[in-house]
Structure 1
């Protein structure tokens, strides 16, 4: 459980100009975030453009991350979807030996009831040999996994150890923190409200911005845990403009523009996403120059 307290990062999948997976860049990104002080890595989440990767490419991404990490940090692997049977099959057939936990998104598009969400994760729990972080992101799934459902799952299944809460609703997050059983982790899935969630008793964040600026963002979270409120607030307000910027034209177009500026990877994304505009790139370039000056 303690492995997932602090700052995790939802890694991008960098592409070459021909849209093939850039293994070299991904290796550099893993090193960049480890040296920046983050606590764990998340592979094949939404930020990884998981939806447009082939099964072979997904395996390449995982293998690259595992090799680059070399057992230094815990690894969380995204396995989720809106076809419960397919998710269960993937959990049963994927080699999870080197994986520390599963991140599984609430079913999207189908818009299940709360009971449907519960039954989905019941099946996921029963199939998974690894601890599970359930993921609520209503902006993408079109359904909100309510605190009552999360707490019910937390109480009923020992291997459901955490929720990544990305509704962008601090009140909902505080209700989860208040009602969660002991040792169940409420992890922010929203960079902008990570700090107030930690102040309220949250376990940290699975971040997008944290992979671009890992030192500053992970230090902010550690300051918050240590009670250094002024230090944490100072870093939050310093980074805050970039959080707006990276989501201005969708994720991961913004964070990939940051990597382009840092000289680590191209800004290339796959359709239906498009690369960040030049206007947005200029905003992020100026921010990065000021942050590192």
Structure 2
């Protein structure tokens, strides 16, 4: 054992066959808690639903369920107040929360992991997190589209040149141009909502890869967490990340469209076009050229 090794076991959840604790460097190198702690509230949400389901099927007593739910609620409060002590030695957000729960309520905290693995737990947390993010992005997209439509209606008769290759082509209206932006965002919005359908499938219950012998009810958990349905195949449930790639594809297209809109605003504020004037609070200046007003935000 190296001098830099840990001196006490920290990975009791998987270290049963190991004869020495994880080296401290390895623990730091493989830990994900510094970034996956953002899943904390979704991890607690999934755990509350899992404990509720385990009590319904008789794996946990009502008293055990109540102790777990109360403990998780208190931990959520600690995280919200910034009082929770995160430990790299505990690897990730899931083990940090489970360890704290066991500290608070004793061995009953260990029973929370009955019938699940970190594999299906992680996959579920990511889906819960991404589903909430999608809902926020969708709401903002809807707000932006609504604003563009309102502005287009007000500017329906405002004449402006249409361009091809930055050369004046045919006359259009400003309202018509704004509705072209709206059409781009409408496609993005539709893609996002379609992506959400594939995000909203629950992997919990697949355990490590082949399910569990405990008499769990995945439909109960899916309902509690607002998933449309449980995943059909346990192997695919824990390995699928298609939905995340699909979201990044949507995000790439959306950002391309927003960039296009932004670049047109930049052109329109230039002296060569002089179509619009942005408020000073959204622009910057130059230290050497005081006449400049840069639309770089």
Shared fold (TM-score greater than 0.5)? no
Tell which structure's C-alpha radius of gyration is larger: 2
With the length of structure 2 as denominator, give the TM-score of the two structures. 0.23
| TM-score under structure 1 length normalisation | 0.23
Task: Indicate the structure with greater strand content.
Answer: 1
